Structure 1
C-alpha cells in the first residue's frame, strides 16, 4: 500500500505548514526593522497586537507567552521609536496576549486528544485492510488505495492476498456505499475471506462463503439489500496458472508482452445477492507465462470520467504505462493513478480507488 499522507489539513488538526510558524517572528522582525530604518517615529504599534493570535495557530502556551512578551517589549522600549504608544495600546496587547495564551492551552489539549484519536483510528483501519506484503508465496504484490472520504484510510473498497494450505488467494472488491459507513461491511468480508482461505480447497467455495456472510449480515441488521462486487483469484502452487471468479466486478487485466487484455470470465452476481450453485459454475483457469502481470482495479479507476463524461480507458493505457515500469509493481500502480488524475482533471472521481498488481513467477520452462 502506498505511504499514507495526513489528509486532515492543518486547520483540521494536522501540523501547520512552515510559513504559518514563521508569521509571528517575521511580523516582529518587520516592525522592528521598519522602526529602526525609518528617520521618523512610525505609528505601527497596532501590528504587534496580531502577534499573539498568530502564535496560537502553531505554537504552544509557553511560546505564545514569550512572543507576547516580545510584542510588549517592542511596544514600550524607546529604542524602537514607535509613535507615542498609549496605555490603551499597551493594555490591549497585554489582554490579547493573555487571551491568546489561554486559547493556545486549550488548542494544545485538543490537538493532543485529536492526535490520540487519529492514531487509534489509523491503527483500527490498518487492521481492517493491512498493507499487502511485497511477496506472498510465488506471487509478487503491490497495492494502491485512496479512500474517497477525506481523512480516512479505509472506505468501501477491500483487497487482500493470503497464502493458505490450498495456495495463494487474492481478492479485490467494492461494497455498497463508500466512506466510513462501509467499513463495517469491509471488516466482515475481510474476516470471512481470511477464514475461507484456510478452510476451503476451491475458489468457488470461498466466493460462496463471502456471499453467505453478507446475506446473514443483511438479515441480522434487517437491511433489504447489502451487496459487494468482487474478483477472486487462486494461484497454483508454482504460480503457473490462476483461477478466477468475478462477482459483478470487472475482470482482471493480463499484461503480457507489452499489451493489456481483459480476461474473459463468466460473470456471477454480486456477493450478497445469492450466488448460483457453486458446484455447477467453475472458475476460469488462465495459464501464466514468465513476465505476466495481473492488474485488478476498483470502480474508482474503471468508472473515472473526464470533463466530457468519457470513461478512463484503462486497458488501452495500461500497456504503455506498464512498459515504463517493467519490474516495479508499486511504481506501476502509482503511475496508473497519476494518469487517471490527469485524464479526469477537475472532475476527478470521488469514489474509492484501489489497484492490486500481482506478478506470479512460475517455474522456468512453463
Structure 2
C-alpha cells in the first residue's frame, strides 16, 4: 500500500474509534472523581468527534448513546436533584444536532469533490491521452504528477504521434498553474497533433505550434504567457532530431549505460516569446537499439529534498534498467517523490522512449 494511503487509513480508523474512547474515558473519570468535578458535559465530545468522520446516521446514533450515558451517570451522581444533570443532557443534545448538521454538509462537499475529480479525469483523458506503448520502433512510457493535490491535470503536457517514417514527440511546461495553464496546454497539444501529421519537417511543426500559442496569447491579452517545449522526431535512419524551445534537455541513456544531456547548440526562447523569423536550431542525436531517451519537465530536476538539494536525475538512471519501460519510469517517479520527502511543489511529467 502507498504510504499516504496507509496513513489515511490509520487516521480514518482513529476517527471512527475516537468517539467511543472519549466517552469511555469521561465515564471512568466521572465515576472516579465524583460529581463535584463536573465532568458530565464532556460526554458531548462523543457525538462531536463522530461528526468528523461518520455520516449523519452514525453521528445521531453516537448522540443517542451519549445521551443514555449522560442519563445513567447523572442518576449515579444524583445530579438531577439540581439543574446540572439537565444542563449536561441539553449539551449532549445540542452538540449532537450540530454534529449531524456538520456530517450532512461534509457529505455534500465530498460528493461535489468526487464530481470534480471525475470531470478532471475525463479532461485528462481528452487532453493527455495515454501514449502508445509501441510506436514504430519506439517503446514509450509516461508518468505525470500534478502539483495540485486534488487535481489530475496541470500545466505540463506530452504527446507521442506515430507518423510515416517515424515518431514525433512533444513535452512541454506551461508558465503558471490552474485552469489557464490547462487551457494553454490544450492549445499546444491541439496544434501539435494536427501539425505532426501534415508538416514535412520538425521545424515546421514547431512553427505551427508557435503560431497557435501566440494567437492564444493575443486573444487573452497576456503577453507574458509562454510555454517551454521540446519537440523530437525519431526515425530509424537519422536517429533523433530535437527542436528545443527553452525546455530542459533530454537525458540520453546509451545501451552501455553512458549518460548525457542532449543540450541544444544555442539557447532559444519558449513558445509564445519567439519573434518573427526566429526559430530554434534543430540538432541531432544518435538513437540506436537499446538506447533510451528521457524527456521531462523541470518539476523533476527541481524537486528539492529536505536539505534543499535538487533531484540528481543523471545519477539515478540505474532505475531505468527494468525491461518494462512503464515499470522503470514508475520506479523513477517513486524515487523523485521519496527525494522530495512528500508531495511535489510543481507539476512533473516524464516520457521514456526506448529504441527496440
TM over 0.5: yes
Counterpart residue number, 2:214: 215
CA distance in 2, matches of 1:343, 1:117: 30
Query: Partner residue of 2:241?
Result: 243
Structural mapping, 1:128-143, within 5 Å: 128-143=127-142
Is 1:87 aligned with 2:86? yes
Write the distance in 1 (CA, Å) between the matches of 2:22 and 2:301: 50
Structure 1 partner of 2:12? 17
Unaligned stretches of 5+ residues in structure 1: 362-366
User: Does the 8 A contact of 2:30 with 2:39 survive in 1?
Assistant: no
Higher helix proportion: 2
**Paired residue for 1:151?**
150
CA distance in 1, matches of 2:311, 2:286: 28
Question: Which of 182-191 and 331-340 deviates more?
Answer: 331-340
The answer for unaligned runs of 5 or more in structure 2 is none
Q: State the SS of the aligned residue for 1:132.
A: coil
From 319, 328, 331, the counterpart of 1:332: 328
Give 1:364's aligned residue.
Answer: none
- Deviation of 1:166 after TM superposition, in Å, equals 5.4
8 Å contact kept, 1:148–1:351 = yes
1:63 paired residue among 58, 66, 78: 58
Task: Give distance in 2, aligned partners of 1:70 and 1:153.
Answer: 42
Structure 1's 118 and 80: CA in aligned 2 closer, same or farther, altered over 3 A? farther
- Equivalent pair of 1:51/1:68 in contact (CA under 8 Å): yes
Q: Bigger shift: 196-205 or 266-275?
A: 266-275
2:53 is paired with a residue whose SS is: coil
In 2, the alpha carbon distance for the partners of 1:326 and 1:44 equals 62
Conservation of the 8 A alpha-carbon contact between 1:211 and 1:275: no
Equivalenced residue count is 346
Deviations 1:24-55 (Å, cap 9, x if unpaired)? 233345556x3899698896433320111111
Cα offsets for 1:39-87 (capped at 9, x unmatched) = 9889643332011111111112211111111111222247995664612
- Equivalent residues of 1:157, 1:353 under 8 A apart: yes
The aligned counterpart of 1:252 is: 250
The 1-side partners of 2:33 and 2:269 are apart by 82
- RMSD of aligned C-alpha atoms? 3.6
Q: Distance in 1 between matches of 2:104 and 2:160?
A: 46
Given that residues 51 and 103 in structure 2 are in contact (C-alpha distance below 8 angstroms), is that contact kept between their aligned partners in structure 1? yes
Q: Structure 1 residues 310, 37: CA separation in 2 closer, same or farther (over 3 Å shift)? A: closer
CA 1:186–1:16: 2 relative to 1, 3 Å = farther
Contact 1:239/1:360 (8 A) holds in 2:
no
Shift of 1:178: 3.0
Query: 1:228 offset after TM fit, Å?
Result: 1.3
- Quote the residue 1:274 is aligned against: 274
